[in-house]
């Protein structure tokens, strides 16, 4: 391998031809098929003995937190195991018996790996050794841990300023590891701490903080049983938060009405068979959604404005409005209601695609009940007006006084199992001054005050050569971010890229001039440090912090825990002069938790309370005391215009969604069972009439094209699938379609890539 060898890696994998089959979408979610599929995945990856051992530990009080979603565990956990089909897949993927060894990397060059898709790469198994890709080399080779740390330390020290380094994090990282990671970045001298949340619920956190003073949800599981109306908006829980269906079923049995707002009729919300109940195995299951509003893509502001306008126009409007609450606890009602009066029904109906009768029926439900919960996920946050989406829904709750009381509130349903906790303990490019003060006090240094880069800004900085070392605590930056080809260039311009990972992915193939793979322990594995076996802690979507302890023996004896890896990097970068006792903290994680307690409010007696089986709630002023810590001390009504999409002739508005058989960029299999799409992921779902008008046949292959700022982006070879969705809409899977999303097409305020509203054209392929 010549020293000046230029790597010829591909930003995008080769497209492999696959036989696919398109069936009718399913009517019922979960049930026996879900259990069978879960077991099959478990057996394929882990074998029988390991499957039984591991699955018994998921989400149990003495077990580990499921590495799948962030939905909380009920107090009465099922003896049959508290997990779902997709949780079982997440566990099987981590606890697989397949291995990616140094021998594998000897055979496979990074160029060859870069031709492979995420499905193929992920199935190779767990990473076993630290590996280095040296400048001018085409293959990774093994490296000793200390040498890897020294390389990182040397490269970081050689930077002109600490702001040329980027410390990315994904949301599986424990509180303990995340806290140390942000400490390393800040002690080194930068707030460049982007995370997956920038692409996820940033619009929720940012939007909520402005209007209610807290950037998190305000409800608990108990509130679901007290709620009278539950909205599920822009979320597909049957696939992405399957245990939420159990909560919704309970709520329904207690009398709640469920309203589902989505361009797609997602199966999981139609009927549900509880896999852990005998009656879930028989009969037709529980009907979940009572009202399905098939809104246009990004039609939610219009829809919610319609519901609120209908409320104002009711004869009993005076009784329906929570007048005392509005008077005492809010500001902005006058301007808000005036705007609603001025908004013509025609634009509401056009933009939402929902009939006035349906809107009035929804308003009737809201008028009759005041215990309302609104749940949402990526269907709302990943739009240019993602923040407006969130704040518009808050307006509805404020009209009814439905915040900070039992059975009512906001529920942004988080993605990664600890994405909320990571943010709580300091992963944030824009930390508050108070946080920095306390961090500096606890560790005796002056943290940097300049705001750091978020995910999109980090890509742009690397592309411009302004950031040169990229470190990734978990995640898959190349495939998760927008504009894949541009991001690939950005990463390739770095001096060094470092991936701290459990599994192989495309970010290991498309790298900086030099690259490191640092393999780490996963949630399922036991973590032994100098003082003995350790556990970690995580925060779920409802602000409960609890412990998680793995029990499997590690996938390889060379793995290190995430905290140990951070400490290794810190020692090599900062030397002994940092005044921070990295080794002591890693020897026993109680020492890390003591520091978290010292820096972050709400963690009093952390080490004691985190040992309690159900963990503890972090304080939440809205939930606990109906207190709004905004600038005015009140909740804010806000005014948002209905977004316009003047689609050019022949164009479609595309949303990128998850199939039932993936976890973000980790592809479990090729069966999007509920939607009936099998064997293929390069598909584009279209309305049948749009297909006819465009002269497209089911099963035909087209190229997808987006054009922003004169730049044409192409995603080749997508198979056309007829589906129930609004006219002029298209749905594709993430991450295959990410190449079409421009890096600068982002949500106002939160900078979240607008990957649910991309204007595309379909281009016929030459015959």
Ligand X SMILES: Nc1nc2c(c(=O)[nH]1)N[C@H]1C(S)=C(S)[C@@H](COP(=O)(O)OP(=O)(O)OC[C@H]3O[C@@H](n4cnc5c(=O)[nH]c(N)nc54)[C@H](O)[C@@H]3O)O[C@H]1N2
431 binds ligand X (CB under 6 A): no
Identify the residue among 38, 367, 480, 746 touching ligand X (CB under 6 A): 480
Task: Kindly state the tokens that stand for 536.
Answer: 């970690």
State the alpha helices, DSSP H only, in 382-538.
386-399, 419-424, 433-443, 455-463, 477-480, 484-492
Q: How far is the CB of 79 from ligand X (least distance, A)?
A: 24
264 binds ligand X (CB under 6 A): yes
200 binds Mo ion (CB under 5 A): yes
143 binds Mo ion (CB under 5 A): no
Choose between 67 and 415: whose C-beta lies nearer to Mo ion: 415
Q: For 752, left (φ over 0), alpha (ψ -120 to 50), or beta?
A: beta
Sign of CA dihedral 391, 396, 398, 399: positive
568 binds ligand X (CB under 6 A): no
Furthest-apart CA atoms within the chain: distance in Å: 81
Which range touches ligand X (CB under 6 A), out of 54-62, 229-237, 304-312, 395-403? 229-237
C-alpha 423/C-alpha 544 separation (Å) is 14
Q: For 695, left (φ over 0), alpha (ψ -120 to 50), or beta?
A: left
Q: How far is the CB of 423 from Mo ion (least distance, A)?
A: 12
455 binds ligand X (CB under 6 A): no
Cβ atoms within 10 Å of 180's Cβ, excluding its own:
31
199 binds ligand X (CB under 6 A): yes
C-alpha 200/C-alpha 203 separation (Å) is 8
Binding partner at 473 among ligand X, Mo ion, none, C-beta below 5 to 8 Å by kind: ligand X
69 binds ligand X (CB under 6 A): yes
Task: Kindly state the tokens that stand for 520.
Answer: 């780490």
Which range touches ligand X (CB under 6 A), out of 425-433, 437-445, 476-484, 525-533? 476-484
Which range touches ligand X (CB under 6 A), out of 46-54, 137-145, 309-317, 501-509? 501-509
Interaction mask 113-152, ligand X, x per CB under 6 A: ----------------------------------------
**In the sheet where 372-376 sits, what is the strand order?**
291-293, 257-261, 229-233, 372-376, 409-412
Choose between 506 and 595: whose C-beta lies nearer to Mo ion: 506
CB half-sphere exposure, 599, CA atoms < 13 A: 28
Identify the residue among 86, 114, 514, 578 touching ligand X (CB under 6 A): 86
Binding partner at 733 among Mo ion, ligand X, none, C-beta below 5 to 8 Å by kind: none
Identify the residue among 26, 50, 172, 593 touching ligand X (CB under 6 A): 172
Choose between 415 and 447: whose C-beta lies nearer to Mo ion: 415
Identify the residue among 213, 404, 421, 474 touching ligand X (CB under 6 A): 474
239 binds ligand X (CB under 6 A): yes
Task: Kindly state the tokens that stand for 744.
Answer: 């600068």
Q: For 283, left (φ over 0), alpha (ψ -120 to 50), or beta?
A: left
Map tokens 């949500």 to a residue: 747
298 binds ligand X (CB under 6 A): yes
Whether the CB-CB separation of 207 and 301 falls below 8 Å is answered with no
Which range touches ligand X (CB under 6 A), out of 169-177, 270-278, 600-608, 677-685? 169-177
Choose between 443 and 718: whose C-beta lies nearer to ligand X: 718
Strand, helix or coil at 739?
helix
741 binds ligand X (CB under 6 A): yes
Q: How far is the CB of 27 from Mo ion (least distance, A)?
A: 28
415 binds Mo ion (CB under 5 A): yes
Distances (CA, A) of 400 to 257, 305, 359, 738: 17, 14, 17, 39
468 binds ligand X (CB under 6 A): no
403 binds Mo ion (CB under 5 A): no
500 binds ligand X (CB under 6 A): yes
Whether the CB-CB separation of 121 and 504 falls below 8 Å is answered with yes
263 binds ligand X (CB under 6 A): yes
List CB contacts of 238: < 8 A, sequence separation 6 or more. 29, 30, 245, 266, 267, 268, 269, 272, 660, 674
656 binds ligand X (CB under 6 A): yes
Choose between 87 and 447: whose C-beta lies nearer to ligand X: 87
Strand, helix or coil at 671?
strand
Q: How far is the CB of 240 from Mo ion (least distance, A)?
A: 9
C-alpha 209/C-alpha 215 separation (Å) is 4
501 binds ligand X (CB under 6 A): yes
Task: Kindly state the tokens that stand for 377.
Answer: 């996920």
Residues that bind ligand X in the complex, under the rule CB under 6 A: 68-69, 86, 170-172, 196, 199-200, 233-236, 239-241, 261-264, 266, 295, 297-298, 300, 377-379, 382, 415-416, 473-477, 480, 500-503, 505, 520, 522-523, 562, 655-658, 662-666, 734, 738, 741, 755-756
Residues that bind Mo ion in the complex, under the rule CB under 5 A: 200, 415
């Amino acid at each position: 391998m010549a020293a000046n060898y230029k790597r010829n890696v591909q930003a995008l994998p080769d497209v492999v031809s696959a036989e696919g089959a398109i069936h009718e979408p399913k009517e019922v979610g979960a049930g026996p098929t879900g259990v069978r599929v879960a077991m099959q995945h478990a057996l394929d990856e882990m074998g029988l003995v390991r499957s039984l051992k591991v699955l018994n530990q998921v989400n149990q009080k003495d077990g580990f937190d499921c590495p799948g979603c962030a939905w909380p565990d009920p107090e009465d956990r099922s003896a049959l195991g508290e997990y779902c089909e997709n949780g079982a897949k997440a566990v099987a993927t981590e606890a697989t018996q397949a291995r990616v060894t140094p021998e594998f990397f000897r055979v496979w060059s990074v160029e060859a790996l870069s031709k492979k898709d995420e499905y193929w790469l992920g199935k190779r198994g767990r990473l076993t050794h630290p590996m280095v890709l040296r400048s001018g080399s085409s293959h990774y080779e093994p490296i000793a841990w200390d040498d890897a740390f020294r390389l990182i330390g040397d490269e970081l020290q050689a930077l002109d300023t600490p702001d040329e380094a980027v410390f990315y994090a994904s949301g599986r990282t424990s509180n303990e590891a995340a806290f140390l990671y942000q400490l390393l970045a800040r002690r080194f001298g930068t707030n460049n701490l982007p995370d997956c949340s920038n692409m996820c619920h940033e619009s929720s956190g940012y939007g909520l903080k402005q209007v209610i003073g807290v950037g998190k949800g305000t409800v608990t599981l108990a509130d679901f049983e007290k709620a009278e109306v539950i909205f599920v908006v822009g979320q597909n829980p049957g696939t992405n938060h399957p245990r939420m269906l159990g909560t919704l079923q309970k709520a329904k049995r207690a009398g709640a009405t469920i309203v589902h707002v989505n361009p797609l009729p997602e199966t999981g919300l139609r009927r549900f068979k509880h896999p852990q109940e005998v009656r879930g195995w028989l009969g037709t299951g529980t009907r979940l959604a009572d009202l399905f509003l098939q809104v246009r893509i990004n039609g939610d502001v219009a829809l919610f404005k319609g519901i609120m306008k209908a409320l104002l126009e009711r004869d009993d409007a005076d009784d329906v409005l929570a007048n005392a609450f509005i008077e005492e606890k809010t500001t902005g009602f006058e301007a808000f209601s005036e705007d609603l009066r001025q908004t013509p029904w025609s634009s509401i109906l056009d933009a939402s695609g929902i009939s006035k009768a349906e809107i009035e029926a929804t308003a009737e439900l809201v008028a009759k009940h005041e215990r309302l919960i609104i749940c949402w996920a990526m269907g709302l946050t990943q739009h240019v007006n993602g923040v407006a989406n969130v704040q518009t829904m808050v307006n509805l709750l404020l009209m009814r006084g439905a915040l900070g009381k039992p059975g009512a509130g906001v529920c942004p349903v988080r993605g990664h199992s600890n994405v909320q906790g990571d943010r709580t303990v300091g992963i944030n490019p824009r930390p508050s001054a108070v946080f920095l003060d306390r961090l500096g006090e606890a560790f005796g240094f002056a943290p940097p005050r300049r705001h750091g880069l978020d995910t999109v800004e980090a890509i742009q900085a690397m592309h411009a050569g302004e950031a040169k070392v990229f470190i990734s605590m978990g995640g898959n930056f190349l495939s998760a971010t927008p504009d894949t080809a541009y991001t690939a260039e950005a990463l390739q311009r770095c001096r060094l890229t470092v991936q701290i990972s459990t599994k192989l992915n495309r970010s290991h193939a498309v790298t900086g001039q030099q690259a490191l793979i640092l393999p780490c322990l996963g949630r399922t594995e036991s973590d032994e440090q100098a003082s003995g076996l350790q556990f970690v802690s995580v925060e779920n979507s409802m602000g409960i912090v609890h412990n998680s302890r793995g029990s499997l023996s590690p996938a390889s004896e060379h793995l290190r825990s995430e905290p140990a890896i951070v400490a290794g990097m810190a020692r090599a970068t900062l030397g002994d002069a940092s005044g921070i006792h990295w080794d002591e903290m890693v020897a026993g994680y109680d020492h890390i938790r003591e520091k978290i307690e010292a820096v972050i409010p709400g963690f009093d007696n952390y080490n004691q309370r985190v040992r309690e089986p159900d963990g503890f709630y972090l304080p939440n002023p809205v939930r606990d005391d109906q207190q709004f810590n905004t600038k005015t001390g009140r909740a804010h009504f806000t005014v948002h215009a209905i977004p316009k999409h003047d689609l050019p002739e022949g164009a479609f508005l595309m949303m990128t969604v998850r199939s039932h058989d993936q976890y973000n960029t980790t592809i479990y299999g090729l069966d999007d069972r509920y939607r009936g799409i099998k064997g293929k992921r390069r598909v584009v779902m279209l309305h049948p009439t749009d297909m006819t008008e465009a002269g497209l046949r089911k099963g035909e292959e087209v190229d997808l094209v987006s054009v922003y700022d004169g730049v044409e982006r192409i995603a080749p070879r997508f198979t056309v699938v007829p589906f129930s969705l609004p006219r002029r809409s298209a749905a594709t899977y993430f991450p295959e379609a990410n190449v079409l999303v421009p890096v600068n097409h982002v949500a106002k305020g939160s900078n979240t890539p607008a990957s649910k509203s991309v204007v595309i054209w379909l281009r016929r392929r030459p015959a």
